[in-house]
Amino acid sequence: MTDLARTGRAASTIQRRIAAISQVHQLVGHVPPPTADWEVRQVVQGIRQRLGTAPTQKEALLTASLRRLVSSCDPATRAGARDRALLLLGTIRNCLTIQHPDGNAGARLRRSPH
């Protein structure tokens, strides 16, 4: 684990590898797996604190870029129709805020900060 951290691997990559190691140990009957050990968990916690785990903020997809992406999808093919639908549904989802103030489902359009 520490070698992975030293070589510049992200904390999430290290966590995925630890999970894989844990699964293999459980499959062969080592319960609890060594990754559940207190010392191992302390090392992992230290790695996560040192490397940081906060996601980096990405730039927003601009309307012109979205139009270009959508127009590049061929709706005559299944993959193209799927990709087009995912792009448009994802955009719509990000523009709506679902509110349940009184237990009833509703949606309102979120205003752009720009």
102 inside domain: no
Number of compact structural domains in the chain: 2
83 inside domain: yes
Q: Are residues 43 and 63 in the same domain?
A: no
Q: Are residues 38 and 64 in the same domain?
A: no
Give Cα 53 distance to the centre of its chain: 12
Position 44 scores a pLDDT of: 85
Q: Are residues 13 and 42 in the same domain?
A: yes
Q: What is the pLDDT along the chain (114 residues), one digit of tens a residue?
A: 788 888 888 888 888 998 999 999 999 998 888 888 899 889 888 888 888 776 777 787 888 888 999 999 999 999 999 999 999 988 887 776 555 555 555 555 556 555
Range of the domain at 90: 58-97
3-state secondary structure of 71: helix
113 inside domain: no
Angle, helix 38-51 to helix 11-27, in steps of 10 degrees: 160
Give the integer Cα–Cα distance in Å for 102 and 91: 27
Q: Are residues 40 and 70 in the same domain?
A: no
Position 61 scores a pLDDT of: 80
pTM for the whole thing? Answer: 0.45
Q: Are residues 42 and 64 in the same domain?
A: no
Position 114 scores a pLDDT of: 54
Q: Are residues 62 and 46 in the same domain?
A: no
First-residue to last-residue Cα distance in the chain: 43
